[in-house]
Amino acid sequence: MRFSKIIPYGFISAVIVVNLLSSSGCANIVPPAGGPRDSLPPVAVSTSPKDSALGVTTQRININFNEFVELKNANEKILISPYPVKQPITEAKLRTVTVRLKDSLLPNTTYTIDFGNSIVDLNEGNVLKSFRYVFSTGTVIDSNELKGRIINAENGKTDSTFFALLYRKQEDSTVAKEKPIYVARVDNKGYFHFTNLPTGTFYLYGLQDADGDKKYSQPAEAFAFLDSAVQINAFTKSVQLYAFAAEKEKERKPASSAPSGKPNTVKRLTYTSNLEAGAQDLLDSLEFTYQKPLKQADTTQIKLFKDSATAVTDVKIINDTANKKLILFTKWKEGGNYRLIFQKEYASDTGGLKPNKEDTISFRVKAEKEYGSIRLRFKNIDLKKNPVLLLYANDKLESSYPLAAAEWYRKLYKPGEYQVRILYDDNKNGVWDAGNFFSKPRKQPELVQNLDVKILIKPNWDNEQVIDIGK
């Protein structure tokens, strides 16, 4: 009879441990792996007063979270409605965000504090998005809403830097002198949403607010207005605003390229041209741009020759309005070779610089095969609105063409990728016109429709495309 041998469990465990240690030579101690990275935003666990509380009299609000938090750009991102006259104090300490209102609370009023994306957790920076807190000093929480959209009238685009503003007063100067009653931010698609509004009559504006004071304070600020008052109630419909800048923002003067503390070493008149790798656009003028305005320019001392020897006589040379450009017009010969001579005394600038010698420029004119033809067919276009085709390259207007028919064609056009927009030219002057608010009669800006369409023009190619305006 055979008997099985019984070995104690503790002895087996000891043997396994010994064998493992002896077989490996030495033990590698591996620390326990950490858990997954915290990707969750903070969670509000309590508020004082409670969210949506009624009959509130305190001007201090505490919001407690489940983890340590901090505020990012609180003064820019937190919007309080009704909009405060005095700047509130906002701070984060450990797990608590505190808001101290410095204005006296209005009676029977619903307040909202929109924190935007200002609250983040302290360790990982996870953002608590679109967090809002509501309370009322009266017996009800107002529940009316107003939705809408702001579109830049000049380019048909939207911009998240706009704000929508509500006022109770109708006077034109109110939007320039007083802060609004209610403020709503605009998202990247141009939409805004007022919530918890009382029933009543309001006046609606849009503002880009470059200086952050929520008032229209400079003509270069993009601004929008609604033609009539808005009746806020449970049935208020969505609205649309078209923004415009009454004046163009002044161009900033470029910083001097000369080293700090040293005089400019340039001692002669210099320029840049619009030639592309030594080639002139067959369809365009030849331009020379100077750093400073020209004090005088004698165009008789500028000579143009074709094929090196033949003088070109049908040449017109003009200054631009700023006297910083000389623009040369002529009928270019396709594929021709040209030579332009600036004689020594042809010009001087306001800084006293002159050429120090005669200057010669040789260039060629592009051939037709370097261009492409373009034919656009428009569906659902309303010719009664005086549409003007606008072609942009990298958001820079390249050309514009009034449309008299639903089809547009050009035999030669510069190759490239272009964005398409349509200007509805009310006064038929061929250019976009801004609106007017502060003088009578008021006038909304002309509208530009930004089509989600790009056209690619290939050289030596017949390019055709159908564009549906209704989409």
Q: Would you list the DSSP string of 353-375?
A: ---SS-EEEEEEE--GGGSEEEE
Identify the three-state secondary structure at position 150: strand
Tell me, yes or no, whether 126 lies in a domain.
yes
Q: Are residues 398 and 448 in the same domain?
A: yes
CATH number reported for the structural domain that contains residue 209 in this entry: 2.60.40.10
Q: Are residues 166 and 229 in the same domain?
A: yes
- Which tens digits make up the pLDDT trace of 230-277? 999 999 999 999 999 988 765 544 444 444 445 556 689 999 999 999
Tell me, yes or no, whether 262 lies in a domain.
no
Of 327, 350, 368, which residue sits at a domain end?
Answer: 368
Mean pLDDT of 70-88: 94
Residue 94 pLDDT > 80, yes or no? Answer: yes
Please give the angle made by the CA atoms of 355, 357 and 359, to the nearest 5 degrees: 85
Q: Are residues 351 and 412 in the same domain?
A: no
Tell me, yes or no, whether 309 lies in a domain.
yes
Q: Are residues 364 and 375 in the same domain?
A: no
Contact 94, 56 (CB under 8 A): no
- Which tens digits make up the pLDDT trace of 311-356? 999 999 999 999 999 999 999 999 999 999 999 999 999 999 999 9
Tell me, yes or no, whether 152 lies in a domain.
yes
Mean pLDDT of 124-145: 96
Residue 44 pLDDT > 50, yes or no? Answer: yes
Q: What pLDDT, on the 0 to 100 scale, is given for residue 227?
A: 93
Of 368, 392, 421, which residue sits at a domain end?
Answer: 368
Q: Are residues 380 and 327 in the same domain?
A: no
| Percent above pLDDT 90 for the chain | 79
Q: What pLDDT, on the 0 to 100 scale, is given for residue 219?
A: 81
Of 349, 368, 387, which residue sits at a domain end?
Answer: 368
What 36-44 contacts at long range (C-beta under 8 Å, 24+ apart), as own/partner pairs, is 37/124, 38/121, 38/123, 38/124, 38/126, 39/124, 39/126, 40/126, 41/119, 41/120, 41/121, 41/126, 41/127, 41/128, 41/129, 42/66, 42/67, 42/69, 42/119, 42/120, 42/121, 42/126, 42/128, 44/131
Domain that holds residue 99: 54-136
Tell me, yes or no, whether 258 lies in a domain.
no
Tell me, yes or no, whether 59 lies in a domain.
yes
Select the more confidently predicted residue: 154 or 470: 154
Residue 27 pLDDT > 70, yes or no? Answer: no
Q: What pLDDT, on the 0 to 100 scale, is given for residue 266?
A: 66
Number of separate domains in the chain: 4
What are the backbone dihedrals phi and psi of residue 204, each rounded to the nearest 5 degrees, phi first? -110, 135
Contact 102, 89 (CB under 8 A): yes
Q: What pLDDT, on the 0 to 100 scale, is given for residue 247?
A: 83
What pTM was estimated for this model as a whole? 0.80
Q: Are residues 384 and 442 in the same domain?
A: yes
